[in-house]
Amino acid sequence: MSLPSNKKKLEFAHPSEEAFALILDYYGIEWQYEPRTFPLEWDENKQVLVAFAPDFYLPQQDLYIELTTLRPQLSSHKNRKIRRLKELYPEVNIKLFKRREMHTMMVKYGLDSEAERIRGSEAQEKNG
Amino acid sequence: MPTGSKISITLSRQLGSMGCEVAQAVKDRLGYRVVWRELINEAGKRSGTPELALDCIDDLGLLGITVPARYRAIYKQAMEEVMQELVEEGNVVIIGRAGQVILSGYPNVIHVQIIASHELRARRIAEERAIPLEGARAQVDASDRNRRLYLKRCYNARWDDPNLYDLIINTDRVTPQSAAAIIAKTVSMYTPTGTLSTF
């Protein structure tokens, strides 16, 4: 399980996003990382004040996905953005997924090398 | 096969049983269309619950998708509609998603189950996915559990109930090509009333 060569240069904002991408690849699900930014608020000069770029888009499911931590404050902030996005762009399907501990399950299912990679980058983030 | 008849096949399979290879061999032999992910994704789009399509694909539960029960009912309804439309078109192999239950009683549908022994399935998965055998065994167990639960929860049916199938093929010794030949022979014997003519 590895990222396709054209996606290897992608820099994910969080290790859990890379883990999510690896799982999608494992299942053969096509994905795009932050392919679109949705303006949510504008000033009187029509300049964008607030925008939102969901983490993933899955074209086969026509679904945007935003990953969030388990921290309630951040989660509710993202929920507000998603609600606004749905008001402005009702044709867009988007879901908020909570980031979860994937390492243990990946090891259980024999995906050890990827699991180690994720744990390594999580450790880097914590230390950095 | 009677002239003008449009036979369809539901193919229920276990992880590592080579069910998809059998479906491909049936396609090569009969020219049927094979539908799997498209079915899942179409039901997700129609029901407005695309995350449930993702949940269906997530056989190992790695993505941790949680969906309210009411959405599952809508998705199930959409799945049934899509499946019935496919059968009206005919000449299709429908993989998984409880087709053997949803389309039971349809005279022009043949229900096939593809199985193999647990250890052989795990060995196949280990080789195919280049993972340790222990991990492959865990994947087989998780997949079996999830597929069993789906049928039980949605249709109160047992996946291993032989009454749900016209054919059960064990690929421990039968190759996908041979399995496809058996299925093609069954298709050729089908009559419009849903019974089989003799060999």
Contact B22, B179 (CB under 8 A): yes
Residue B191: the pLDDT is 73
- The tokens for B114 are 């593809």
The shortest CB-CB distance from B41 to any of A60, A100, A109 is to: A60
Higher pLDDT, A109 or A41: A41
Which carries the bigger pLDDT value, residue A119 or residue B48? B48
Compute the nearest-CA separation of A102 from chain B (Å). Answer: 7
Residue ranges of domains in chain B, CATH in brackets: 8-38+92-189 (3.40.50.300)
State the pLDDT at residue B2.
46
CA angle B163, B164, B167 (to 5 degrees): 85
pLDDT of residue A108: 83
Nearest CA in chain B to A112: B131
Q: Any CB–CB contact under 8 A between B60 and chain A?
A: yes
Rounded distance, CA B105 to CA B122, Å? 34
**In this structure, which amino acid lies at residue A110?**
G
- State whether residue A100 sits within 8 Å of chain B by CB: yes
Q: pLDDT value at position B3? A: 42
Confidence of residue A52 (pLDDT cuts 50, 70, 90): very high
pLDDT at A127: 37
The 10 Å Cβ neighbour count of residue A111 is: 26
CA-to-CA separations, B152 to A86, B115, B147, in angstroms, rounded: 35, 18, 9
> Higher pLDDT residue, B32 or A12?
B32
Min distance B137 CA to chain A CA atoms (Å): 8
Residue B153: predicted pLDDT: 87
For residue B15, how many other CB atoms are within 10 A of its CB? 21
pLDDT-derived band at A3 (thresholds 50, 70, 90) equals low
Residues 6+ apart with CB under 8 A from B110: B7, B8, B9, B10, B166, B167, B183, B186, B187, B190
Q: What are A62's two structure tokens?
A: 């026509």
**Closest to A110 (Cβ–Cβ): which among B41, B63, B136?**
B136
User: What's the CA gap between B169 and B167, in Å, rounded?
Assistant: 6
Query: Which tens digit of pLDDT belongs to each residue from A14-39?
Result: 878 888 888 898 889 999 999 999 99
Nearest C-alpha in B relative to A109? B135
**Rounded Cα–Cα distance for residues B58 and B143 (Å):** 9
Q: Provide the ipTM.
A: 0.77
Which of the residues in chain B have pLDDT under 70?
A: 1-5, 192, 194, 198-199
CB contact under 8 A, B131 and A109: yes
Report pLDDT digits (tens) over A68-118.
Answer: 866 666 777 888 899 999 999 999 999 888 766 677 777 888 877 666 666
Using a CB-CB cut-off of 8 Å, the residues of chain A touching B61 are: 105
Q: What is the token pair recorded at B46?
A: 């129609």
pLDDT of residue B171: 98
One-letter amino acid at B38 equals E
Residue A34's pLDDT is what? 94
Q: State pTM to two decimals.
A: 0.82
